[in-house]
Chain A
């Protein structure tokens, strides 16, 4: 099974900062990688699919990159609404796996 490893597990930042979260796959997944945002008590929200394609309605300060085994999610200028948990996920294989998550907290 493909394993997804996210880092860091916790990230402290301030409004206006640029932040980057990394996700590594245990084997190549091409670009079959999605990123989700989850706020407390809410279901996850799809941000990015195919590693770098922004889901409709997602602000352009979010961006994704990578292919193969290494991927990143970047937020160019943090807004107060962005403090949440973020998960990567590989898909389009027989079984899907999520990364363990990154909690983005206010410094």
Chain B
């Protein structure tokens, strides 16, 4: 069974940093591209970042470029999102997702909540 479990969320002050993790199991992690998507509770979905299976291709939404860094450790079946210089606009539930062979995200984690507030 495919499982994605996010962790690392929490309350942080503006300007602070957090590192999110996503532990993957139930599939060959190093065969799949992975994504981070966020959602303000009660609002829409926003794609944040993606990383290819071998970390050779990385993309970000404009609003996080220069502040967020996506990475992965295939030996540990783990995906990461380093978030620096956080603002209140970054407050959201952060999901990790697996990009399926058909293209879009076919499996999602349950999300980890990031709250940026003073």
Contacts and interface: CB of A to CB of B under 8 A. Distances in A.
A102 to B, nearest CB: 10
Interface stretch (B15-23, B42-50, B81-89): B42-50
A96 B103 contact: no
B85 to A, nearest CB: 21
Interface stretch (A17-25, A59-67, A76-84, A85-93): A85-93
B104 A34 contact: yes
Interface of A: 1, 32, 34, 36, 38, 43-46, 49-50, 53, 55, 87, 89, 91-92, 94-101
Given A44-B95, A89-B104, 13 more contacts: A34-B104, A38-B45, A44-B105, A45-B108, A46-B100, A49-B103, A87-B44, A89-B47, A94-B59, A95-B47, A96-B47, A97-B47, A99-B44
Given A44-B108, A94-B59, A98-B46, A50 B103 contact: yes
B interface SS class: strand
Contact of B45 (A32, A49, A53, A87): A87
Contact of A43 (B35, B61, B95, B100): B95
A107 B99 CA distance: 35
Given A43-B95, A94-B59, A32 B103 contact: yes
B47 A34 contact: no
B106 interface: yes
Contacts of A1: 62
Contacts of B28: none
Interface of B: 35, 37, 44-47, 50, 59-62, 95, 99-100, 102-106, 108-111
Nearest to A99: B44
Given A43-B111, A44-B108, A50-B102, A98 B44 contact: yes
B17 to A, nearest CB: 23
Contacts of A101: 44-45
B92 to A, nearest CB: 13
A100 B109 contact: no
28 contacts: A36-B104, A43-B95, A43-B109, A43-B110, A44-B45, A44-B95, A44-B105, A46-B100, A46-B104, A46-B106, A49-B100, A50-B102, A50-B103, A55-B102, A55-B106, A89-B45, A89-B104, A91-B104, A95-B60, A95-B61, A96-B35, A96-B47, A97-B47, A98-B37, A98-B44, A98-B45, A98-B47, A101-B44
